[in-house]
Amino acid sequence: MDYALVTAVLAAAIIAGTPILYAALGEILAERTGVLNLGLEGMMLVGAVSGFMATIATGSHWMGLLAAMIAGGMVAAVHAVLTITFKANQVVSGLALTIFGTGLSGFLGKKLIGIPAPSTFSKVSLPVLSDIPFLGPVLFNQDPLVYLSYLLVPLMWIFIYRTNPGLKMRSVGENPGAADSLGVNVFLTRYIYVIIGGIFSGIAGAYLSLAYAPTWLEHMTGGRGWIAIALVIFSTWNPARALIGAYIFGGVDALGFRLQAMNIGVSSFFLNMLPYLFTILVLIFATMQTQRNRIGAPGALMLPYDREDR
Amino acid sequence: MPQVPLVEMKGITKRFPGVLANDHVSFEARSGEIHALLGENGAGKSTLMSILTGLYRPDEGQIFIKGKPVQLKNPKEAIGLGIGMVHQHFRLVQPFSVAENIVLGMKNLGLFIKKEKVEKEIEELSRRFALKVEPKAKIWQLSVGEQQRVEIVKMLYRGAEILILDEPTAVLTPQEVRELFKTLRQTANQGKAVILITHKLNEVMEIADRITVLRGGKSVATVNKVETNKIELTKLMVGREAMLVVDKKPPDLGPVILQLENVNCLSDKGYPALKDASLEIRGGEILGVAGVAGNGQRELAEVITGLRRVTRGKVKIGNKDYTNVSPREVIEARVAYIPEDRVGMGLVPNLNAMENVILKNYREKPVCGPLFINGDYVKNRARQLVDDFNIKMTGVDKAVKLMSGGNLQKLLFAREVSCEPQLIVAVYPVRGLDVSAIEAVHDILLAQREAGVAILFISEDLDEIFKLSDRIAVLYDGQVMDVLPTGKTNVEEVGMLMAGTRPEREVG
Amino acid sequence: MPAPVIQQGSPFTIKLEKRLTTSRLNNILIPVISVFLALVVGAIFIYVTGNDPVKIYQTMLKGAFGSKYGISETVVKAIPLILTGLAVSIAFKMQLWNIGAEGQLYMGAWAAAYVALFMPDLPGFLVLPTMFLFGFLGGAIWALIPAIPRALIGVNETITTLLLNYVAILWFGYFVYGPWRDPKGFNFPLSAAFPEAARLPSMFDTRVHYGLIIGLVAVVIIYIMLKHTKWGYEIRVIGESPNAARYAGMNIVRNILLVMILSGGLAGIAGMSEVAGLTHRLQPTISPGYGYTAIIIAWLAKLNPFAILLVSFLFGGLLVGGYSVQTLGLPAATAYMLQGLILFFVLGGELFNRYRLRIRERGGK
């Protein structure tokens, strides 16, 4: 195949994978403390619309990003209150978050449809690095949020597996009773990481409305939040594997888009199904894999903690 | 002895919904002593110690540490004051290493985990207290005894002055118990206070310096070991002379009902759990299964009841092959099963007594027609069982989770026995019950024995096994070490087998 | 001698205590208060964005219940909500998180439409029953796709059922925009109109159609099935405690498959009744998210079939009200925002079903 075409598809795969990656990284943190948040789709939509609104208001896409992060964190805080303090069913609360986020973003974004973003995250070639053959145009001719994700993944990996706060975080998700008996504040820990998870989803949303699209459309996430949740299972809660997974999903997305442009005679309806069908297949494969190797979800995932439960 | 006790608890009261767990309890422990907290299940021992470790907050009362009044809001504060507890169910994070478990949650550790330094310190500590632990091992790879040592090291590493152990011997072989007691004495000798929660008189008389007895949530007495004896302690603990001696007729043996031939199976983690286990039970006898918990007991019950796959070997019930059949076929072969998890497996907590009573025979006439369940019949049957087995509850239409542990177990037995079994598999059937409920369960088992039922009785209490069983099988590491007639063996011999050692006379 | 009691902070302690039983009054009061509070918070959102919440709620109420047309439209919307609400609740009862009712509805509609459009030789009296059957099967098979990996290897059904919604809608779109598009339809993405025999009759001179009867019958059947039959008993036991179900010799794999078939089938019937009763042809959108609203309805109704019936009418009204506020310049998404808020408050309110607040004087009795 054509060299330029290959690098273009791979670069597009990274762009398409980045919002999924951010959302999945956030979800890994929340689930590592034992809280499942199925509301990624809703948090991303709220992040996307808030980021877009703030960018229009201030003219700065960085302010937009900040607003998206705050909005994502705030919506996640609702989930935290419901599931951690009120001990509500995590699945249903997450669904509520998705429905609410979809409704709220549609409500707020009605007047924004069709307006182009006044200021966006655009491509910045990194000097020297972008000159590396093949890797340069694929990896280092991207926007700042992609570069940020390159840094985030190793930092998060070190945090989770090599630091004391990371150890505390994992212990809360594996065995909150043990963590609590050693003085780890289970509730506070869960709140913190669920809210950070929401902030990450906010970034993912802002990426869609300020870098990927860059405009606001109702339901513009198109199921990416759910794909991110599947990706968390595929990643076995490991940020490094999430990175690889996100780019594979991004690749399927980019490839479908490319094939449409090439007009190969398959209906775009079928090509658009590809990411969803691919996610389902990967999920089946990943489940078989984790069962064989017996590496499962965090031990206390979906279990509310009550110290005086007898 | 020093003037001020290390710990003093005064007038502690703790209520749970529907239960007064502690009623103005007072307790103290001094530096250098091993203080036993003695009482039956449900006497309030664990609750009292959970208050001392900051896990529960008392509704009333005060706590003094070294004479200073303290308010223990959470476990962190208790640890800060030098209080460390080894819970009955270990508080260990299974996928973590020993070292990670030991440092988890400690202050001033810095950002990064300093693995080498911690591992060295743990090795030093384990040498000083004669507690062998491997800092790099993952918890799930360790035996129960090793996990307990990790728990003790964890507390000592955090500088515990007051070490509390909740029923520590329940999971150990007699030989391991001796090792543990040596460690505890050494710990006390270094100026720490050791508090031992237990309901076993033998242990108390062996290791304690002083004893505080709890009964029904109240503290009834604190005595010096040298000034008391087992009979007095029993009276204090139970509130009457002594437990009833079981009146057991010699067995009236029927045909062989259950036969296991070289049965192998895997544990949930995928490791061999039963290794060529063979045994048989005849009608009218109780076969007791002794062994430290986790040596294949659960799996043994599950291969018989069809809940676990047999990888090699044969299970025969009534001389017919029942290897790897469905649980339903085993139920239809009239096998009753009292599982370890009586709530959640044996009974469904959120369903009412009527719905729980038909769990095993909801498919059969007259409980069920071709489509519909016969509500009136079920109601009458539930009421009858409640009467027959003297079960106390608010109503057969109320969720069974509202019932006490003893009544739940009676309901479970009532259902299983009413299906007229030829074989009963009972796993830890008296765990956590009070004396009257224990007696009721024993009576039911003995009555079934006399009715000619074959009974597989798994227990962790050797006294109980010797009391009820006609023969005793010992499980160790998934193997049936031996099957001995009760009259021809003793606790020492069974204890050796439980630890995996075959006594000399076996050779030959 | 008693030592001085140490006083810290307030002289009262407030704590949550677990309730063992829930009162009947609470079961009604808590959802009602939850819905009310959700509407109050919704009003704040509306106010902050520069609209008049009182006027908007009035318009919604009037739109949904203020006229014969409004009420009949509310009932029209309630029909698919009842069926999808039942679909979701039967799966939830067994802790199967089927959130794919939306896609199952579309597949049911598609399969029913196939009968209406491409089986012209069918005798007239058989057309509707065949559409009903195909609608059921369309939804059931679509639900079976995620059910099989869930039952056999435990693949998370929440994600798979949801992702299949997107696939189903794309599939549906392919036919409406492609092979099934009416050649005489001026290039609009619409199928040909269904023949008369393939239409559910309407009632009372309104758009309310016989799908309502299907919904009512389904409520009664599901209620009896759950409460009084052997299968219903198995579903309840498996949902409450899979371990107890295994212990009792129940076949969990078979039950997962059967319940998902029934769940998907009910959603499929919802799709069939929409196209046969309302649109009488295929169009790109046949559901504004009934399958998602159904989740809220099921939870608010505590999975009780008769409560689902009642709540479906209320949410039908909310949807109709949502359309009527569009005349005031608010998006229809307002209704979905309110739905999400309602579910938040219902979930939060459940705390008071399981716990009670205890306020006590510190140190005292």
Where on the phi/psi map is residue B108: left (φ > 0), alpha (ψ -120 to 50), or beta? Answer: left
Nearest to B263 by CA among B319, B302, B320, B318: B302
Residue type, position B502, single letter: R
Nearest to A275 by CA among A242, A301, A249: A249
Nearest to C329 by CA among C58, C45, C56: C56
| Chain segment B103-137, per-residue pLDDT in tens | 888 877 778 888 888 899 898 888 887 788 888 88
Does residue A185 surpass a pLDDT of 60? yes
B252-266: burial string, b at 16+ Cβ within 10 Å, e else: eeeeebbbbeebbbe
Query: Kind and range of the H or E element at A267?
Result: none
For C3, other C-beta atoms within 10 Å of its C-beta total 11
Instruction: List the beta bridge partners of residue C14.
Output: C359
Residues of C in contact with A79 (CB under 8 A): none
What is the rounded average pLDDT of the residues A166-178?
92
* Residue whose token pair is 């509130």: B239
Chain centre distance of CA A265: 33
B355 close to C (CB below 8 A): yes
- What pLDDT does residue B453 have? 93
Find out whether A35 and A298 touch, Cβ atoms under 8 Å.
no
Find out whether A207 and A152 touch, Cβ atoms under 8 Å.
no
Nearest chain A CA: its distance from B293 CA (Å):
21
- Touching B: which chains, 3+ CB pairs < 8 A? A, C
Residue type, position A63, single letter: M
| Chain segment B198-227, per-residue pLDDT in tens | 877 788 888 899 999 988 888 888 999 888
**CA dist., res. B119 & res. B141, Å (int):** 18
A50 close to C (CB below 8 A): no
Instruction: List the beta bridge partners of residue B347.
Output: B343
Structural tokens at position B388? 């027959």
With CB atoms and an 8 Å threshold, state whether C243 touches B18: no
With CB atoms and an 8 Å threshold, state whether B92 touches A294: no
Q: How many A-C residue pairs are in contact by the CB < 8 A criterion?
A: 143
* Residue whose token pair is 């078979």: C254
- What pLDDT does residue B244 have? 46
Find out whether B289 and B457 touch, Cβ atoms under 8 Å.
yes
| Strands annotated E in B170-297 | 193-198, 210-215, 218-224, 256-266, 272-282, 286-290
**CA dist., res. B48 & res. B13, Å (int):** 9
Find out whether B101 and B138 touch, Cβ atoms under 8 Å.
no
Does residue A172 surpass a pLDDT of 50? yes
What residues contact residue B9 under an 8 Å CB cut-off, 6+ apart? B25, B26, B27, B28, B48, B51, B52, B61, B62, B63, B64
What is the rounded average pLDDT of the residues A41-46?
95
Find out whether C154 and C93 touch, Cβ atoms under 8 Å.
no
What is the rounded average pLDDT of the residues C133-137?
95
- What pLDDT does residue A295 have? 63
Residues of B in contact with C237 (CB under 8 A): 348, 351, 355, 359
Minimal Cβ distance to A106: which of C153, C173, C336: C336
Which comes out higher in pLDDT, residue B19 or C358? B19
Residues of B in contact with A182 (CB under 8 A): 75, 79, 91, 104-106, 154
C-alpha distance from residue A17 to each of A12, A50, A139, A154, A208 (Å): 8, 21, 12, 17, 11
**CA dist., res. A104 & res. B491, Å (int):** 70
Instruction: Write out the residues of chain B at the interface with chain A, using a CB-CB cutoff of 8 A.
Output: 16, 53, 55-56, 74-77, 79-80, 85, 87, 90-96, 100-101, 103-106, 109-113, 154, 269-270
- Assign A219 to helix, strand or coil: coil
What is the rounded average pLDDT of the residues C245-250?
91
C-alpha distance from residue B139 to each of A37, B99, B156 (Å): 29, 10, 18
Q: Half-sphere exposure of residue B226, counting CA atoms within 13 Å on the CB side?
A: 1
User: Over the Cα atoms of chain B, what is R_g?
Assistant: 24
| Chain segment B432-490, per-residue pLDDT in tens | 787 778 888 998 999 999 999 999 999 887 888 888 999 999 998 889 999 999 888 88
Nearest chain A CA: its distance from B76 CA (Å):
4
Q: What is the pTM of this model?
A: 0.85
Residues of B in contact with A163 (CB under 8 A): 111-113
- Assign C322 to helix, strand or coil: helix
Quickly list DSSP for A168-216. HHHHHHH-HHHHHHTT--HHHHHHHHHHHHHHHHHHHHHHIIIIIS-B-
Which comes out higher in pLDDT, residue A111 or C7? A111
Weakest-pLDDT range from B351-365, B432-446, B493-507, C283-297: B493-507
- Assign A279 to helix, strand or coil: helix
Does residue A296 surpass a pLDDT of 80? no
pLDDT confidence band for C365 (50 / 70 / 90): very low
| Chain segment B92-109, per-residue pLDDT in tens | 998 899 999 998 888 777
The whole-chain average pLDDT of chain B stands at: 86
Residues of B in contact with C19 (CB under 8 A): 17
- What pLDDT does residue B506 have? 46
ω into B339 cis (within 30 of 0): no
**CA dist., res. A208 & res. B165, Å (int):** 56
**Strands laid side by side in the B60-65 sheet:** B19-29, B7-16, B60-65, B68-70
Q: Quote the percentage of chain A above a pLDDT of 70.
A: 97
pLDDT confidence band for C62 (50 / 70 / 90): confident
- Assign B441 to helix, strand or coil: helix
Query: Kind and range of the H or E element at B22?
Result: strand B19-29
Minimal Cβ distance to B93: which of A171, A307, A310: A171
* Residue whose token pair is 């869609």: A208
Nearest to C291 by CA among C149, C129, C91, C145: C91
**CA dist., res. C284 & res. C180, Å (int):** 11
| Chain segment A88-110, per-residue pLDDT in tens | 889 889 989 999 999 999 888 88
pLDDT confidence band for C334 (50 / 70 / 90): confident
- Measured N-to-C along each axis, helices C68-93 and C101-118 cross at an angle, to the nearest 10 degrees, of 110
Nearest chain A CA: its distance from B80 CA (Å):
9
Nearest chain C CA: its distance from B371 CA (Å):
6
Phi, psi of B4, rounded to the nearest 5 degrees: -95, 130
**CA dist., res. C306 & res. C215, Å (int):** 11
